[in-house]
Structure 1
Amino acid sequence: MKKYGLIGFPLTHSFSKSYFSEKFRREGITDCQYDLYELPEIQSFPALLVKEPELVGLNVTIPYKQQVIPYLDRLDPACKEIGAVNCIKITPLELIGYNTDYFGFKTSLSNWIGEERPGALILGTGGASRAVAQALKDLHMPFLRISRSPRPDSKTTRTYDALAASPQLVQSYPLIINTTPVGTYPHTADLPPIPVSLFGPDQWYYDLVYNPEETRLMQEAAKRGAKTKNGLEMLHLQAEAAWDIWNEGN
């Protein structure tokens, strides 16, 4: 039995197990199993590999997309440039890190905006934001990162306070992308600290959260005429990309 799974903490928000279990059923794949491996700390990762010797592939979610890197033998070149891992291929000889968030987001965004190239504000500075930033670079779209804390060494980062005080930023960067887990089930009432008054018919709001399918901030943005999209298509695209990586050469 080939085993696949997801590591992260917590995993109450994950659709991965149901997605892959349904894929196995639909495609008649009977020799594979997908499980959730909730790790309270990344230091437990080596013990998991010893305990589950049949593991051949893992997805990685918050908060370990960067923390897992020291435990890997090498990174795919594109993943190395991004600096975050969300997919691990496990072979008898090595652990290889990949980033399929990049492919999933870039393809999903292109499907949504077509030929338009609006400037973007990226909410959050974690692992998912790195894949988003690389995708925007490759699509030749200008962007700023929005962080809770000031980063004086970064020319491309602003704080949420600065965003609230500068409505013109949203006019210059009308695509807003939430890469944080804020608003994810079960904390569906939570909002990223961005004034909803900034939204209007000229804005696009892409939320990487997919559970719930419509976050509270998506609802608030839509009320004000903004175009909205969740992360479900990105999830499907990155999951299939991971499946291809795990089974390449098999």
Structure 2
Amino acid sequence: MSNRTKFGLLGKNISYSFSRKYFSEKFEKLGLKEYKYGNFDIPEIEEFPFLLYHREDEYRGINVTIPYKEAVMRYLDAIDEDAKKIGAVNTIKVTDDNKLVGYNTDYYGFQKSIEPFIKEHHKNALILGTGGASKAIAYALKKMNIDYKFVSRKVDENMFLYSALNEEILEKHTIVVNCTPIGTHPNIDECPNIPFQFITEKHLFFDLIYNPEETKFLSEAKKRGAAVKNGFEMLQLQAEKSWEIWNS
């Protein structure tokens, strides 16, 4: 395994990438001069196998981000039990015999990051968005015995429509997690369309976005006394978990 010194991030339009900066700085701190972390920025997931072809023995690990956390699964040789249940992969380990094994460290990062904020009355959550990240959030909440409902623009009997959110729903669901990209830099004036007038100091708002540090979603909730947390610590925790997996 010692000759495997390459790592990467698979995604689309990822020049802003947290992972590349994070791991490049980590390698520097650890004195791992030969280690490299690059971006696989591809327009279609179908290009993924060609990227790795003939180069698997150089790679040790790959992170996966929007929009490929679900689509990448069909190219993997094995999938960890948690990732299978979640239905999304954000970490790939390349084994000694060049097999690609998928894991999910998002749920771990989210759970560890939100746990210190959970109070007795936080029994129900709203998850905004239905992509790969939201599945990991749902899995973590389930592990924490917190009931949840997805909020979407699509009509589905198991979800709330944004337009259906009212005082009664928000009074019951005191955790609100934003898994959409709405409000990410540079679109910092945008915000998921929820009725903030029903938010109180009983609420806990978590935004997976970390740039800007305080999104409009968080600042609107904070104005009304809610506890707020952005996604930066979650990202760090899931990255460290990936590192652990690649080196285990």
The TM-score range, normalised by the shorter chain, is over 0.9
CA contact (8 A) 1:75 1:98 kept: yes
Matching residue within 102, 109, 125 for 1:104? 109
Which structure 2 residues correspond to residues 1-250 of structure 1 after superposition, within 5 A? Answer: 2-50=5-53, 52-53=55-56, 54-91=58-95, 92-113=97-118, 117-152=122-157, 154=158, 157-163=159-165, 166-248=166-248
Give distance in 1, aligned partners of 2:59 and 2:185.
28
Residue 13 of structure 1 contacts residue 185 of structure 1 at CA under 8 Å; is this kept in 2? no
Where 1:146 maps in the other structure, the secondary structure is: strand
The one-letter amino acid of 1:205's match is F
TM-score by length of 1: 0.92
Distance in 1, Cα, partners of 2:101 & 2:154? 32
Superposed CA deviations along residues 156-181 of structure 1, whole A, max 9, x for unmatched, are: x1111111xx2211110111000111
Determine the C-alpha separation between the residues in 2 that align with 1:204 and 1:118: 11
Question: Aligned-pair distance for 1:136?
Answer: 0.7
Identity of aligned residues (%): 47
List gaps (5 residues or longer) in structure 1. Answer: none
Cα distance in 1 for partners of 2:202, 2:163 equals: 22
1:241–1:219 CA distance, 2 compared to 1 (3 A)? same
Deviation at residue 121 of structure 1 after TM alignment: 0.5
The worse-fitting range, judged by mean Cα deviation, of 59-68 and 212-221 is 212-221
Provide TM-score, normalisation by structure 2. Answer: 0.93
Q: Do the aligned residues in 1 keep the contact of 2:92 with 2:102 (CA within 8 Å)?
A: yes
Deviation at 1:81, TM superposition (A): 0.6
- What CA deviation, in whole Å up to 9, does each residue of 1:186-222 have, x standing for no partner? 2222211212223222211000111111111111111
Q: Could you tell me how far 1:111 is from its partner in structure 2? A: 2.5
Matched AA of 2:173: Y
Map Cα deviations across residues 39-85 of structure 1 (whole Å, 9 max, x no partner): 11101101111264422211111111101111111100111011000
Contact 2:122-2:175 at 8 Å conserved across structures: no
Aligned length, in residue pairs: 243
Equivalent position amino acid for 2:53 in 1: V
